């Protein structure tokens, strides 16, 4: 199903050690509105949508996994040279004690990822509206991360991710219209 290219979807340049910024990025890594939740949600929903839009869910789910890889790269680069004292000052002391410099799927508050973040109703139109909302929440979160980022390379990558959320939202909106047209079309038997 996938072909893995050994490069990021978009380059990630990190110029400073900044555990606090890394902590904030964890919201998009393992939070309710983050990339892991989105990728799993869309991959799961693709089994209960009509064939006319299944490819959209598959494509966007796949891209969300690449966004997750970009975030992991940013978080790792922002923390890899941090001392235990710097991590503790940034509120990542408990994370360091439990995981060292390894990444773990949790949000900025340290709450571990849970499958309850994944929404799926089984109604294609309802699910697509949920997906539109998820993309808009991710877009808003990326904007807030951009607003607090002081690393030009991270900010650049975050802008790329924010714009991709806009594209995903538009593709889901188009999919809703396709399904509404199919639903409302006169059926002659």
C-beta neighbour count of 98 within 10 angstroms: 11
Is 61:1 a contact under the CB 8 Å cutoff? no
d(CA 163, CA 157): 10
d(CA 44, CA 86): 39
Give me the helix-helix angle, 35-45 and 124-148, nearest 10°: 170
Under DSSP, the state recorded for 90 is T
Is 137:57 a contact under the CB 8 Å cutoff? no
Annotated binding residue 174: no
Annotated binding residue 168: yes
C-beta neighbour count of 29 within 10 angstroms: 24
Annotated binding residue 81: no
Annotated binding residue 64: yes
The string of DSSP codes covering 57-78 is HHHHHHHHHHHHHHHHHHHHHH
Element (H or E) spanning 184, and its range?
helix 152-184
Annotated binding site for Ca(2+): 59
Annotated binding site: 35, 59, 64, 67, 135, 168
Annotated binding site for Mn(2+): 35, 64, 67, 135, 168
């Amino acid at each position: 199903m996938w072909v893995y290219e050994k490069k990021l979807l978009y380059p990630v340049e990190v110029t400073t050690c900044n555990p606090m910024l890394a902590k904030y990025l964890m919201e998009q890594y393992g939070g309710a509105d983050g990339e892991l939740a989105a990728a799993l949600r869309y991959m799961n929903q693709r089994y209960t949508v009509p064939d006319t839009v299944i490819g959209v869910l598959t494509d966007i789910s796949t891209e969300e996994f690449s966004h997750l890889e970009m975030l992991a790269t940013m978080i790792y680069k922002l923390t890899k040279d941090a001392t235990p004292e710097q991590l503790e000052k940034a509120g990542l002391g408990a994370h360091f004690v439990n995981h060292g410099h390894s990444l773990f799927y949790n949000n900025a508050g340290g709450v571990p990822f849970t499958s309850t973040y994944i929404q799926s109703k089984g109604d294609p139109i309802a699910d697509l509206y949920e997906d539109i909302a998820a993309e808009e929440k991710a877009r808003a979160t990326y904007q807030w991360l951009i607003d607090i980022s002081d690393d030009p390379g991270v900010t650049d990558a975050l802008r790329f991710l924010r714009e991709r959320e806009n594209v995903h939202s538009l593709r889901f909106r188009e999919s809703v219209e396709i399904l509404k047209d199919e639903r409302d079309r006169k059926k002659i038997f």
